[in-house]
Structure 1
Amino acid sequence: MLTTTRHSNEPPIRAIRDEGNRIALDLDGGKVARLSTRWLRLACECEICGDTASGKRWLTPADVPAGVRVVSIDVSAPNEVAVIWDDGHVSRYDSGFLANHTGGGWRAARFQPELWSSDLGARLGRFGFDAVVEDDEMLFGSLRALRDHGIAMLTGVPAEAEATMRIAGRYGPIRETSYGKVFDLLSKPDARVAGETARAQIPHTDEPFRYSPPGFIFFHAIKTGAGTGGTSLMVDGFHIVELMRTGTPRLFELLTRYGVTFHREHAGEVFFSAEAHVISLDAAGQVTGIRYNDRCLAPQPASRDDIDELIEALAELTRLICDPQNQFQHQLQPGEVLVFDNQRVMHGRSAFDPTLAIRHLRSCNIDRDGVHSAFRTLARRFAPKEAETVLYQGAIF
C-alpha cells in the first residue's frame, strides 16, 4: 500500500494512501475519507485531458479503465496533490477540491431558501435602478435577494420601454415568447389574456402550459392608479407546499408524483399543452419548483378512482394560496419593478375599476439559468464561497 504524508501542518489533506480502487485521505481534524480511484483519474483537467467547465474536454469516461492504478502520490507542494498513473500520465489536483468531494460531502452545499408569508415586507430587498445598472456589487446584492426569497424590488425605474429592457438585461438575456420580448399589461374590453382584464387574479405562476415556463419575471409599473385597487398579491409557493407537506402529506405527495395538464390556445396562433408535476422535488426530496395556474388547468385525464383526490389536492393548494396570511400585499407605485422567481413565487392582484384609473405594467421574462449564471459569475468576485452553491432548479418535471 502506497502512503504519502505531508510534513507540514497545512490543511486540508495530511496524508494520502493508495488502497487499490480507492484513495484514502487523512483530512485536517482527524477525519478519514475515500475517493474512487477511477473518479480521481476522470477528474484530471490538465492540458491533455481538457477542461469540463469550458467544454474543451478530451478525456472520456470510456478512456478510464475500471482497473486504473496509481503508481505514486506527492503532496509536498502547498495545496497540491500530484498523482502518477500506471500509464505514465501525471495529474495535479487542488487539495481543497479533493477534500470537498470526499464522501459526497460536497452535496451539503445545497442552498436552503428563506420562506416567507405576509411578513415579507420587512425582509424584501429594495434596490435603486441606477445602482443596479451601474454597480455590479449592487446587482449581486439583488441577485442574492432573488436567491434567498425568490423576489426583490427595484425602484426609480424610468417609464420608458427601453428602461424595462435595460434593467432586465442586467440579469440575463430577455426571453422572447409568443407575447413578444416586453408585454404591456393594460385592461381592455377585448382582453386576450386575464392580465388584460380588471378582474381579481388568484396568485399563480405564469405559463405552466409551456414545457419550460418562464424563469424570472419583471413587472415594471408605469401607471397604477393607487387607491383604486389592483393591489399585487405575492405568495411564496415553497412556503405553501411545506404547509401541505406537514398538514396534508397525502395531498402533497399527489402533487409531487401525479402529472397535471395545463393548456393555452389562441385559435389559429398558438396551442400549448404540458403535463407536469405541480410540485417538483430533487433526489433528496427538497422542493425545487412550482407550476400552478388554476385558469390554465385542462380537464384532467385521471381515472375515476384518482380524480376526486387530485381535485382535492388542487383545492387545498388553492385555499392556501388565497389565505391572506400567506400573501404579501403591495400596491405598486410608478417606477417600481417587482422581480420574482416564476417557478417559486406566485403572483396575483385584487380587482380594480378601470374607469377610475389606468393600470399599466410592462412585463418581460428571463430564463432561470441566465439569472443563476449571473449570480454565480458575480459571486466569484464578491462572495467566492457562494459561487458553488447548488441552487434550486425550478419546475423541471
Structure 2
Amino acid sequence: MLVTPRHSSTNEWPVRAIRNEGDRIAVDLDNGSQGRLSTRWLRLACECDVCGDTASGKRWLTPAGVPARVQATALDVSAAEVSVFWDDGHVSRYGSDFLAGHAGGGSGPARFRPQLWSSDLGGKLGRFAFDAVVEEDKALFGSLRALRDHGIAMLTGVPADPEATVRVAGRYGPIRETSYGKVFDLISRPDARVAGETARAQIPHTDEPFRYSPPGFIFFHAIRTGAGSGGTSLMVDGFHVAETMRTSTPELFDLLTRHGVTFQREHAGEVFFSAEAHVISLDASGAVTGIRYNDRCLAPQTAPLDRIDGLIEALAELTRLIRDPQNQFQHQLQPGEVLVFDNQRVMHGRSAFDPTLAVRHLRSCNIDRDGVHSVFRTLARRFAPQEAEAVFYQGAIF
C-alpha cells in the first residue's frame, strides 16, 4: 500500500510517499529517487518516551527487544512526519528528514574526507586571532573547520602568560594531563630530559606514539623562538605521505597498515611506556584515519626473519618521505603564535638552532580528539547544521 502525505507540499519535505513491503519499507523521495529501509531497523530507531533516546543515553529499547519479524500494520504520512503503527500496538513517529537521510542502503551520515597538503600549506593555512577565538563562538568554529579540513590552524596575538595558553586551549575541549603535566614548557637547555629540549634537528613525527591512546590535538604556543638562529618548524601531512606510499610503494604501505610496530619511552624509576600499533590506521573502507610514528621512540622490532627487513624498509621509506622538503611546510614561529594541529595526522619537527644565540621556549598542551570533535559538532548545530553529523576520521586507533 502506497501512502502519500496528508498535507501536500511541493519540494518542501523530502519524503513524497512511503510503502509497506513486509520486512522492508519503501520510501519515495521528492527528488524522484527511491530508498528502502529495514523494518526491523526502523522499529529499533524509534526514540519516543517509551523507547528512550541515544542523545541522553536514557535508551530503553535494545536490539534484543525488536522481534526479527516485526511488522508495520499501518503508515500515516504528514508533510513533516511519518507515523508507523506496529503489530504489538506501539506507535513510532519519525521526521521526514530523518527517513530521507537513511533511506537507500543505510549509508547514514557522510564521511568527511580531509584536504591533503604538502609544502603548499602556506596559502591554505587558516589563521585566527586569539581575542576572536576566546570571545566569539563563530571564530572558534572557523578554526575548528580549519582543523577538520587540514588538521592544522594558527592562532595569532596570544599573550605570553601561561593563563593565555590554558584559556585558548580550553576553548577546544578539556586539557589532557599526562606524565609531563597539564601544560609543558619546552625550553632549550644543556641538561635536556627529552629531545624537544635540545637544539638538535627533529625529524617530523607524531608525539607520544608509545601511549595506547596518543594525544589527539596539540597546542604549541611560542613564547621565545630565537628567530634567525634556526629552529624552523617543519610540518608534514601524514595523510598525504601515506597516500603517496599507497601509490608509489603499495607493498610497503600495506605492511605499515597490517604489521604492529612497537614504540617505547622510559624515564628510569618514573615511567615505562610501551605500545604496539599500526603506523597507518585505516577504516573499513580503506581510507587513512590516523598516523602514529616517531623514529626516536622505535623499539627493536619483532617479526619473522623473512619479514623483518621488509618492515624496516617500509619504515625507512616513510622516513624518507617525511624528510623530503617537498612534503614539508616550513614556518618560523614568532612569539604570540600558536600552532594547533591533529597529532594523529600532522607530523611536526624543526630544524637545528644555535642555543648560544637564543633560548627557544614553547608551551605545549594536549586535547583529546573526541573533545575537539564534540565542540565542532556542538557549534555546527548552530552555524552549519548540515556539517554536524559527518563522520570524522578517528585517528590512530589500532
- After TM superposition, is the score higher than 0.5? yes
Aligned AA for 1:193? V
User: Aligned runs of 1:362-373 on 2, under 5 Å?
Assistant: 362-373=363-374
| 1:374 aligned counterpart, secondary structure | helix
User: Aligned runs of 1:197-216 on 2, under 5 Å?
Assistant: 197-216=198-217
CA distance in 2, matches of 1:113, 1:32: 30
Corresponding residue of 1:336: 337
Give, in angstroms, the shift of residue 105 of structure 1.
5.6
| 2:75 aligned counterpart, secondary structure | strand
Among 24, 27, 30, which residue is 1:28 paired with? 30
Give, in angstroms, the shift of residue 107 of structure 1.
4.1
Corresponding residue of 2:391: 390
Aligned AA for 2:51? C
Q: Deviation string for 1:87-107 (max 9, x for gaps)? A: 111100001111111233644
Corresponding residue of 2:65: 63
Corresponding residue of 2:100: 99
Aligned AA for 1:147? R
Aligned AA for 2:187? L
| 1:56 aligned counterpart, secondary structure | coil
Corresponding residue of 2:13: 11
Corresponding residue of 1:171: 172
CA distance in 2, matches of 1:310, 1:107: 37
CA distance in 1, matches of 2:187, 2:34: 63
Q: Deviation string for 1:378-397 (max 9, x for gaps)? A: 00000110001111100000
Matched, 1:141 2:106: no
With 101-110 and 232-241 compared, the bigger mean Cα shift is at 101-110
In structure 2, runs of 5+ residues without a counterpart are none
Corresponding residue of 1:271: 272
User: Aligned runs of 1:147-166 on 2, under 5 Å?
Assistant: 147-166=148-167
Corresponding residue of 2:54: 52
Contact 2:37/2:105 (<8 A) preserved: no
Matched, 1:297 2:309: no
- Distance change in 2, residues 1:107/1:312 (3 Å): farther
Give, in angstroms, the shift of residue 108 of structure 1.
6.1
Query: Alpha carbon RMSD of aligned pairs, Å?
Result: 1.0
CA distance in 1, matches of 2:265, 2:99: 49
| 2:172 aligned counterpart, secondary structure | coil
Contact 2:344/2:395 (<8 A) preserved: yes
With 134-143 and 99-108 compared, the bigger mean Cα shift is at 99-108
CA distance in 1, matches of 2:315, 2:339: 27
Aligned AA for 2:59? R
User: Aligned runs of 1:307-326 on 2, under 5 Å?
Assistant: 307-326=308-327
Give, in angstroms, the shift of residue 365 of structure 1.
0.1
CA distance in 1, matches of 2:296, 2:196: 11
| 2:16 aligned counterpart, secondary structure | strand
Moved over 6 A (4+): none
Give, in angstroms, the shift of residue 282 of structure 1.
0.3
Q: Deviation string for 1:17-36 (max 9, x for gaps)? A: 11111111111232221101
Corresponding residue of 1:354: 355
CA distance in 2, matches of 1:123, 1:67: 53
Q: Deviation string for 1:46-72 (max 9, x for gaps)? A: 011101121011111111100111111
| 1:309 aligned counterpart, secondary structure | helix
| 2:317 aligned counterpart, secondary structure | helix
Aligned AA for 1:355? T
CA distance in 2, matches of 1:384, 1:262: 40
Corresponding residue of 1:374: 375
CA distance in 1, matches of 2:393, 2:16: 34
With 336-345 and 3-12 compared, the bigger mean Cα shift is at 3-12
CA distance in 2, matches of 1:148, 1:105: 25
Aligned AA for 1:169? G
Q: Deviation string for 1:328-368 (max 9, x for gaps)? A: 00000000000000000000000011110010000000000
Contact 2:234/2:351 (<8 A) preserved: yes
| 2:105 aligned counterpart, secondary structure | helix
Q: Deviation string for 1:202-223 (max 9, x for gaps)? A: 0000000000000000000000
Contact 2:36/2:103 (<8 A) preserved: yes
Identity within the alignment, %: 82
User: TM-score, normalised on structure 1?
Assistant: 0.98
CA distance in 2, matches of 1:383, 1:352: 43
CA distance in 2, matches of 1:292, 1:41: 44
Give, in angstroms, the shift of residue 5 of structure 1.
1.9
CA distance in 2, matches of 1:348, 1:227: 17
- Length, aligned pairs only: 395
User: TM-score, normalised on structure 2?
Assistant: 0.98
CA distance in 1, matches of 2:393, 2:364: 23
